[in-house]
Structures are given as structure tokens and as C-alpha cells.
């Protein structure tokens, strides 16, 4: 491995970016072993936590582009882990619902993602993992709030 310039390696933004690339790779590999993708997990998790929703609502909740939601919903429907029905109040809109098979798939993906967390945070003791997660949450929340605040 090539050395990184010290002034770069000391910057949190650089470190976060490098770790994010590694974390994404680990998560993608973990999901792939279960025949899934990260978008699938996002949608299944949102349906499990919040219940049935339109594709537009899923896109907002999961921070996904509309075309990515449509593609992932099609794939999940083919797998039988979600059902898509026409909204009786608006025939142009689909309502997506988690199936029992979807609940089982979500549990498998949860286990796969837990293994990824263990691998990613391997060198940290439990207390440090909790502190690290809390700090990341604080930073994420702060910047998400600033991004959505009107000027």
C-alpha cells in the first residue's frame, strides 16, 4: 500500500470518505451473499418500520431516486418479498407492502449487515463502537438539518 501524505491522512473528511468507500464495499458484498442490494434493504426496512407506502414515499424515506425505487420494487416484487397494489384513492399510484417472505428476507439482511458492522468496526471495543456511532449520528443530524433549513 502506498503511503498517504500526512496532511491528507490527518483530515477527518478524507478519513470518513475512505472509510465510507470501504463500508459500502463490505455492505454490498454482504447483501450480495443474500441475493440482495442495499436499495432492497432500504425499502424492506422502511416498509417494516413504517408500513405500506407509495413508491414516492419510499423514495423520500429511503433517500432514493424515483427510477431506483421503481427498479428495486420490481426486483423485490419478482422475489415475492413485497406486494404492489393499486391505491384505491389514486389509481395512478402503487402501494407497496411487505410480505411474510419479505420479513424473513429482512431478518437475513439484518444479520448480514450486523456481520458487516462487526468487520468494519472490528478493532474497536464495544464502548468505542457506541461512541463512534453516536458521534457520526450527531454529525449526520447536524448536516442534514442544515441542508434542509431555508436560507
Query: How is 35-68 classified by DSSP, letter by letter?
Result: T--HHHHHHHHHHHHH-SEEHHHHHHHHT--HHH
Neighbours of 84 (CB within 10 A): 14
All domains in the chain, ordered by first residue: 13-120 (1.10.10.10)
Pairing of strands 90-98, 53-54: antiparallel
Is residue 81 a contact partner of residue 102, using CB atoms and an 8 Å limit? yes
pTM for this entry: 0.87
pLDDT (tens place) for every residue of the chain, 151 residues total: 679 999 999 999 999 999 999 999 999 999 999 999 999 999 999 999 999 999 999 999 999 999 999 999 999 999 999 999 998 888 888 899 999 999 999 999 999 999 999 999 999 999 999 999 999 999 999 998 887 766 5
C-alpha cell of residue 64: 432514493
Amino acid at each position: 500500500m502506498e503511503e498517504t501524505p500526512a496532511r491528507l491522512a490527518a483530515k477527518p473528511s478524507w478519513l470518513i470518505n475512505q472509510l465510507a468507500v470501504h463500508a459500502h464495499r463490505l455492505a454490498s458484498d454482504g447483501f450480495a451473499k443474500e441475493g440482495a442490494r442495499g436499495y432492497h434493504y432500504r425499502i424492506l426496512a422502511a416498509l417494516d418500520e413504517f408500513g405500506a407506502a407509495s413508491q414516492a414515499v419510499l423514495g423520500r424515506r429511503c433517500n432514493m431516486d424515483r427510477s431506483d425505487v421503481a427498479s428495486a420494487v420490481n426486483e423485490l416484487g419478482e422475489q415475492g418479498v413485497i406486494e404492489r397494489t393499486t391505491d384505491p384513492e389514486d389509481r395512478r399510484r402503487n402501494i407497496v407492502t411487505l410480505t411474510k417472505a419479505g420479513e424473513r428476507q429482512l431478518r437475513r439482511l439484518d444479520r448480514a449487515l450486523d456481520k458487516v458492522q462487526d468487520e468494519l468496526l472490528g478493532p474497536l471495543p464495544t464502548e468505542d463502537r457506541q461512541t463512534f456511532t453516536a458521534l457520526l449520528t450527531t454529525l449526520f443530524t447536524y448536516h442534514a438539518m442544515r441542508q434542509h433549513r431555508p436560507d
